[in-house]
């Protein structure tokens, strides 16, 4: 579903005269649409490389809440041996680091939606299988975009770009179970136009996300307390 972005990144990379391999490598390694757009877009605009690195790093701070909410679903803690079962080691750090690399919007929305219903032992294999498939397809899309972009009729190009918002909205709605999920979704949606006016460009999403996520959590907490009090 993020292939549209990746097609665009392929085209962007071509515009600055970089080889197709660099475009595809960026998908495999960076694995973050906005960061990739920043790298190639800023080079096209003539920005200094250290400034690009800072911008990329800022845009990827959003992975912290994503990783923090997804990784614990997959990690297994060490279990000491009992009379019936042998001791089980905790998930090793290298595996957690590897799993964290795949965390990006697509893997996150699908992960939080599906992993909680799965038995613990199936979560890591499912996640790796799913994320690697998406990564492979996205890498191919990046290569295709390198050669194809600019040859599509405008209505289809618009449709490609529209996949991102429509898919992510529906995936969030499909994953929302508790009131706090709905609150975060609706408040975050409202935050965008407000923050675009008042916050520093580039930081508006982070400020809006943290602010509205916190507000959703605060409402969730006070609601829970009131219910606990009346019961």
**Interface residues for other proteins in 157-176 (CB under 8 A)?**
157-174, 176
Binders of other proteins in range 54-73 (CB under 8 A): 54, 56-57, 59-69, 71-73
CA distances from 108 to 1, 51, 63, 113 (A): 13, 28, 9, 8
Which member of 2, 10, 29, 125 binds other proteins (CB under 8 A)? 29
Contact 230, 209 (CB under 8 A): no
Q: What are phi and psi of 118, to 5 degrees?
A: -95, 150
Which member of 2, 6, 7, 103 binds other proteins (CB under 8 A)? 103
Nearer to other proteins, 20 or 140 (CB): 20
Residue 78 is given by DSSP the state -
User: Shortest gap between Cβ of 15 and other proteins (angstroms)?
Assistant: 11
Contact 96, 117 (CB under 8 A): no
- What is the three-class DSSP state of 227? helix
Contact 59, 68 (CB under 8 A): no
Window contacting other proteins (CB under 8 A); options: 80-88, 98-106, 126-134, 135-143: 98-106
Cα–Cα distance measured from residue 214 to residue 166, given in angstroms and rounded to the nearest whole number: 25
Number of residues that bind other proteins (CB under 8 A): 101
Contact mark string toward other proteins, 119..158, x via CB under 8 A: -----------------------------------xxxxx
User: Shortest gap between Cβ of 228 and other proteins (angstroms)?
Assistant: 14
Residue 79 is given by DSSP the state B
User: Shortest gap between Cβ of 83 and other proteins (angstroms)?
Assistant: 25
Binders of other proteins in range 171-210 (CB under 8 A): 171-174, 176, 180-181, 183-193, 195-196, 204-206, 208-210
For the record, the structure tokens of 126 come out as 């499912």
């Amino acid at each position: 579903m993020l292939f549209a972005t990746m097609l665009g990144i392929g085209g962007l990379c071509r515009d600055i005269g970089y080889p197709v391999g660099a475009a595809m490598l960026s998908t495999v390694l960076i694995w973050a649409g906005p960061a990739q757009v920043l790298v190639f877009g800023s080079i096209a605009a003539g920005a200094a490389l250290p400034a690009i690195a800072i911008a990329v790093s800022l845009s990827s701070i959003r992975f912290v809440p994503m990783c923090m909410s997804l990784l614990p679903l997959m990690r297994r803690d060490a279990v000491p041996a009992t009379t019936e079962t042998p001791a089980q080691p905790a998930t090793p750090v290298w595996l957690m680091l590897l799993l964290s690399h795949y965390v990006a919007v697509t893997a996150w929305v699908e992960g939080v939606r599906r992993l909680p219903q799965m038995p613990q032992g199936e979560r890591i294999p499912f996640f790796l299988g799913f994320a690697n498939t998406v990564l492979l397809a996205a890498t191919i899309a990046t290569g295709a975009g390198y050669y194809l972009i600019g040859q599509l009729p405008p209505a289809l190009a618009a449709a490609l770009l529209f996949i991102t918002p429509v898919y992510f909205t529906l995936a969030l709605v499909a994953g929302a179970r508790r009131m706090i999920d709905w609150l975060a979704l609706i408040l975050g949606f409202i935050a965008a136009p407000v923050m675009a006016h008042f916050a520093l460009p580039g930081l508006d999403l982070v400020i809006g996300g943290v602010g509205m996520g916190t507000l959703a959590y605060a409402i969730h907490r006070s609601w829970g307390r009131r219910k606990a009090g009346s019961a």
